[in-house]
Structures are given as structure tokens and as C-alpha cells.
A and B are shown apart, each in its own frame.
Chain A
Amino acid sequence: MEHPTSPKGEYFQRDRTMHPPALTPHYKTSVTRSHKNALLSLQNSLSEITGPVFGHNELGALDNDLIRNYAHGGDPIGERIIVHGRVLDEAGRPQPNALLEFWQANAGGRYRHKKDTYLAPIDPNFGGCGRTLSDENGYYMFRTIKPGPYPWRNFVNNWRPAHIHFSIFGPAFAQRLITQMYFEGDPLIWSCPIVRGIPDDDAIRQLIAPLDLNASIPIDTLAYKFDIVLRGRRSTMFENRLEGN
């Protein structure tokens, strides 16, 4: 019988106990936007194991430098940081050429978005978005300003911890993921209803990037390390090596 997705193997089933469920009432917006019926479980077909392929020629030279990519004759205000890490899959394999896109508030906690009316000022030299591709070993990096925390209308006194949003494209549409990176030492992390929507504390800790002084640039830029794990994949199926699949 023909292997359904030959020659490459399928992706591991997503472990949904590690992800926030659709309905998390303490994050109030989820109440009207969560599905009530069970998801339909689907085995991988070509529709799931394939996905868009991106190349370096599609990205601009400053796309991974948020300090420079929207500067209008000055530097953005705030703490200069490098964010770096690896994109791996659940089997520990590096994911090369993964497209990473990121967006964030400025140092005062305000987004450059029509709908953000928080009283912190817009920074004229900071756009707040960037993108990059992981290299052949799965490594990625970008430079930015540490975002500020900000209040939001969920409960009266809710503040979001400082965070950077990440969108990640691995090789398959089944791996598509959006998440948020938090910063080591931020006291707001454990009181945030969005963070606490994740039922597993270890899964939350996996979103908290540690300070990485060895990757910092002295008298210039601090660094944080954030590794990202996408869904794993069974290897190419060989009839004489079934144990390797």
C-alpha cells in the first residue's frame, strides 16, 4: 500500500494539554470566541504536511533590526536587547528556514496601532515589528528595545507582563504557531490571565526567556535567549528501518 504522505513522515499529534484550552473565562474575550464542539481529529494528509516556503530574498536587510527598521533620524527609547535562540522540533531536530515574525509594544507599553489608545507616548523611531529566517542549524536572532508592560481592560487592575509576540512558520502548515515570549524576573507573568490560560506551569516556564549575559554586547545591548519548539515529525519511512520512524 502506498504510504499516505511518502516520502516524509507525518507530524506528531499536538499535545493539547500543553496549550490553553479555547475557553479560559478569566481571559474574558475567550468567552464569546471559543468553540463549544470538539475539534475533529484528522490524520495528516498533503494539506497538513506541506506549507508555504519563504526565502531570504523576500526579507529586507533591516527586517530583523527593530532598533533601525523604523528609525527616523534617532534611536528608539528604551533598553536595547538582542533576542536569540533556536527553532527545534519535538524530536530535537533544528528547523532551518523557519520564518519568524515578531511584534511588540514600545518601551512605554504602547503599540503603533490605530486601536491602541493607552496614554504612553508613541515612539517616533520605533515601529515594533520585524521578521527573520532561522539559519541552517535553526538559529535566529534579532535586535530590539525591551517592551514595557501595560494595563488592559480585562479585570480592572490587569497588566500584561512585558512580552514579544512570535509567529512561526515551520515547513508544514500543521506546525503553524503563534506564541508570546516573556522576560525572566517579570513579577507580572504569574498574575496574567492570558499566561495563566496555559494549564501546565512547565509550559508557562518554557515561554520565559532567561537573561543571557554571555550573548550581550558590553556597554551596549543585553540579550535574552528564547528557544522555540515546533511539532515533531516522524522520519522518512524505510521498510528496513521501521524503528527509526
Chain B
Amino acid sequence: MVQPLDYLRETASQTAGPYVHIGLIPKQAGFDIFENQLGDTMLTPETKGERITIKGHVFDSTGTPLRDVLLEIWQANADGRYNHPDDTQGKPLDETFRGWGRTGSHFETGLYTFKTIKPGAVRGRHTHTMAPHINVWIVARGINIGLNTRMYFSDETEANAKDPVLNLIELEKRRETLIAQRSERDGEVIYTFDIHLQGDNETVFLDI
């Protein structure tokens, strides 16, 4: 027997279950309990950057939208800086923007929505720059461990082509699953980002 390294082991994940809303977005579960609803507001009028709305569905293998899924997003501000002490890029911090949001898909339609700003590019590893992107995390009944993925922007073709993470995906067809399509309606900028848990268009999920 050799000596043990004495590392602890990460607590095992379990599904968030069908009632994840009770704990994380109780208003959607049908009751009001906390004064401060964490995560339901990403913006203030002072927040810098282009206003965008992200909309989409999360589909299962049968093509049915999940109506009980919870999504969280984490992103940099308009200058490409994360509101966190370990971001040492030296870019300006926007105190009015935490960069984190949480929402549940609609119980009837399965549509999810975030109102946020378009992030700037962030430094990657070594000398790379990463294209503007939003980090996405998904939990639901039937998902045993939260799924990580990223959302990129269809109007950033040049930056996307150089993005070190997109370029790790061998099959170019699968890179498309991470790119949200931009459209404008009544002055609102909408990015449509559908996520497929399984099937022909299965989204690329990340082991981060």
C-alpha cells in the first residue's frame, strides 16, 4: 500500500427533479417567499452594452420542448470582463451588471427568455482571444448532472472562426449547435438559441 494523497471527493450530483422551481425560482412554482428574487433581473437602465433578448427551447430526443427545465447563464460585460475577483484582464468593471441570470422555461410552451446585453470578447488561454459567448448551464428532471454549454453569436462570424473552443469541435456541423441566430423585431434584438439534449442536432455539451 502506498500513502494516500488525501484528496476529498466531490459530492455526487443528483437530478434537480421536476420541482427545482420551488428552491430556485419559487415565484414560478406559484408562491412568493423571498424578498429578493435572485437571478430574475440581469439589467438596470445604467448597464452598458447592446440590449439583447435570448429565446429558445430545450428539446428532448422526441423533439418535445422541456417545460420543466431551469437554465442559468454566466457572461462577461460589454467590455469583456467578468464581474469576479479572479478576472485580472484589467478591463473596466460595470458595477450595474453581475453577469448572471436564471430562468425556467414556460410551463405551457417550454420557451425560455433572458434579457441581457451582448458580452465583449474575453481572454482565453495563452494568447488566444475567445469570441463573445455566454456560458449556459441546464438542469431538469432526467438530467443527472447539470449540462454545460456555450452560446455564440451568429453575427460574429470572424471571431467565431478563430475561437479556440469552437475549433476544438472536430465536426464543423456540430459547431453550429452553439451559435445563436440573430434577428430584429420591432427594434428588439433577439438571439434564438435552441438546445437539443439528444438526436440529430444534439448540442455540444462541455466537460469544463
Contact = CB atoms under 8 A, between A and B. Distances in A.
A35 B147 contact: yes
B134 to A, nearest CB: 9
B60 A176 contact: no
A contact face: mostly helix, strand, loop, or mixed = loop
Interface residues of B, number: 82
Contact of A165 (B12, B20, B122, B174): B20
Contact of B19 (A8, A60, A115): A115
B86 interface: yes
Interface residues of A, number: 93
Interface string A226-239: 00111110000000
A176 B202 contact: no
Contacts, number: 272
B2 interface: no
Given A111-B22, A203-B12, A32 B142 contact: yes
Contacts of B174: 37
Interface of A: 1-2, 4-8, 12, 14-16, 18-22, 24, 27, 29-37, 39-54, 58-60, 63, 69-70, 88-92, 101-103, 111-116, 127-129, 131, 165, 167, 171-174, 176-180, 194-195, 197-198, 200, 202-204, 206-207, 228-232
26 contacts: A1-B126, A8-B86, A19-B145, A29-B142, A32-B142, A34-B142, A40-B206, A42-B206, A46-B86, A47-B130, A47-B135, A47-B150, A48-B135, A50-B87, A52-B98, A53-B85, A60-B35, A63-B34, A90-B9, A103-B24, A165-B20, A177-B11, A177-B13, A207-B11, A207-B12, A231-B10
